[in-house]
Amino acid sequence: MCGIAGVLHRSGDKLDPDVLVRMTRSLVHRGPDGEGYFLNGPRPGSWLEAGDAVSVRACIEGGRGDVGLGHRRLSIIDLSTGQQPLANEDGTVWVTFNGEIYNFHSLVAELEAKGHRFRTRSDTEVIVHAWEEWGQEAVKRFRGMFAFALWDERQQKLWIARDRVGKKPLYYLLDEDRLVFASEIKAILEMPGVSRDLDLEALSDYLSLLYIPSPKTIFRSIRKLPAAHQLVVSRDRTELSAYWDLPFMETHTASAERMIEELLGRLEEATKLRMISDVPLGAFLSGGVDSSAVVAMMARASAQPVRTNSISFSVRKYDEIEYARQVAKLYGTDHHEFHVTPEAVRAIEKLAWHYDEPFADSSAVPTYYVSQTARQRVTVALSGDGGDENFAGYRRYAFDLRENFVRGLVPAFLRRPVFRALGRLYPKADYLPQVFRGKAFLSNLARDPVDAYFFSVSAFDDNEKQRVLGADVARQLGDYRTADLFRDVYQRAPARDHLSRIQYLDIKTYLCEDILTKVDRAAMAVSLEVRCPLLDHVFMEYAAGIPSELKLSGSAGKRIFKQALKKHLPDDILYRPKMGFGVPVPEWLRGDLKNYARELVLEGDATRRYLSRPSVERLWREHASGLRNRATELWVIMMLNLWHRRFVEG
């Protein structure tokens, strides 16, 4: 992976080279192997490896110097000639690129046949010539993960784009005078005059979802480029557009056996494409179906033992290490492990800096440690992300299916008041028996399908969020509801059935903004590239066309995917209870981390500024006493305060 940054002064003002250098160097963790800059000065096309502010300034004195691109490199492919920013033959088109384009060999052949000449073996150069040949349509031809910015000197246009599902991040600030962009928010904050005023709607979204959905960020002045979008900016015009979507339209009419054969073939191809590397390569292995499937495909394609990496916990219900060891033994991998302890979780202070905005998925902690373990031996690791979204593997899909079945049996005029009352009466204590999802099941039956699904994935429901927000923040938010974001995505989903709409919703929100953000920042914190075969867009398009009943039947998710893997993995891997990739947060907050967390949650500046202290104290008491499991809510508040301490107070 790499880090990219840049500036376009639309007014023609010269950019400050010191700022461009600071922006780029704030991303050194994303690219420790090299540094480069382009500026459109008197010698347009100057590329400066390991550039400093003095040499960059010399490049623009006497010229326009209103466009600059910066790059930090993590060398993966074409180690000798793949430096960036990179140009076409006459130096009129320049690109800074983060990611991998896996089909670049076929694109090179096609472009060479059209007369283009390549100077490197890098996939980066494909972007330059593809722009010359196809313009903005070029992005539709790229198969991979990417975020890039391209400057065309002749057309005076800056083109930025992000991959289809959002594996690689891209943030920007855009006003009448300038476009500032970067792989991470911290780089944009190096630009003088950038406001750090909070977006209160984004704060509300975070309290519900544990992440902030695109295009918002926690700062009102900075936006995320949404996945599968491109932005073209000239001196007087801005054009933002989507270039891809994922239809769930059940287009496959072949037999289940034929679809299984197709799935396996496409998974093998997607995995092989992601094994192209000029540096050591390995895999994450949790022992779950998805990571085990990727390791199985890698082992089939590799003449050497696959380097696998896992983590373990002392609390047994969170620990999958025995399953990971089983798969490692089955495929004879070169296997390494790291044991996560409560002391190790202090890495959250480092992670709060890497995530740039509040982020409360606690599985960022094990993701960081498995990345750190992998980076000791490899530079690239393959992961199993995407299997649950593609094949309805989350347990909440089965719960949602049951709720919808019951919802369909009871008329709305009766269902809403009856189940709303039952939900209020259902015991709150977490040690009491739960039916289906207990209180959540009864409460959801009083809601429509979209509100019910939103409630099931929220840390704070609307009522709890109203209580925990400070009075002034609640007043400014007015009638704003995060659930409306879900409703908008659900309603525009190119799908016929409810399950497919929910899968689409998760791919556009949870997958992109939580899972892939978590993996990118945790892995980049240790300069590790992570590739995801199950998120190959060709594979995803095929999976989306499979009928829903072949994905989820009763409580069994990933039905057809597991059938496809029966020749490669044992039943006790394929059909064991799903565990997820969590950490023992409830136990830690009542034990080893209690004093540390209590100070952050109750005394943090973000709590004082934006939240209701009495409500936060109530949450803490309920959790500490064992009456309620408030670990998720407390973790959300703790991470908000850690972020605030680093980016607002400091």
User: Which amino acids are annotated catalytic?
Assistant: 2
CA-CA-CA-CA torsion for 270, 273, 279, 280, nearest 10 degrees? 40
| The two structure tokens encoding residue 626 | 């064992």
Question: Which of 384, 340, 335 lies closest to 365, judged by CA?
Answer: 340
Contact in structure between 221 and 194 (CB atoms under 8 Å): yes
Q: How far apart are the first and last CA of the chain?
A: 29
Within 8 A by CB and 6+ apart from 22, the residues are 190
Contact in structure between 282 and 378 (CB atoms under 8 Å): yes
Contact in structure between 14 and 64 (CB atoms under 8 Å): yes
Question: Which of 397, 401, 356, 644 lies closest to 524, judged by CA?
Answer: 356
| The two structure tokens encoding residue 130 | 């593809």
| The two structure tokens encoding residue 297 | 């495909």
Alpha-carbon span 319 to 323, nearest angstrom: 9
Alpha-carbon span 391 to 114, nearest angstrom: 40
Alpha-carbon span 38 to 551, nearest angstrom: 48
| H/E segment holding residue 72 | strand 67-73
- Strand-pair partners of 144: 101
Q: How many CA atoms lie within 13 A of 381 on its CB side?
A: 30
Alpha-carbon span 286 to 277, nearest angstrom: 23
Rg (CA), the chain: 25
| H/E segment holding residue 520 | helix 516-524
Alpha-carbon span 295 to 302, nearest angstrom: 10
Per-residue DSSP letters for 355-423?
Answer: H-S----TTHHHHHHHHHHHHTT-SEEE--TTHHHHHT-SHHHHHHHHHHHHHHHS-HHHHHHHHHHHH
- Residue 443: alpha-carbon gap to chain centroid: 30
Alpha-carbon span 161 to 231, nearest angstrom: 6
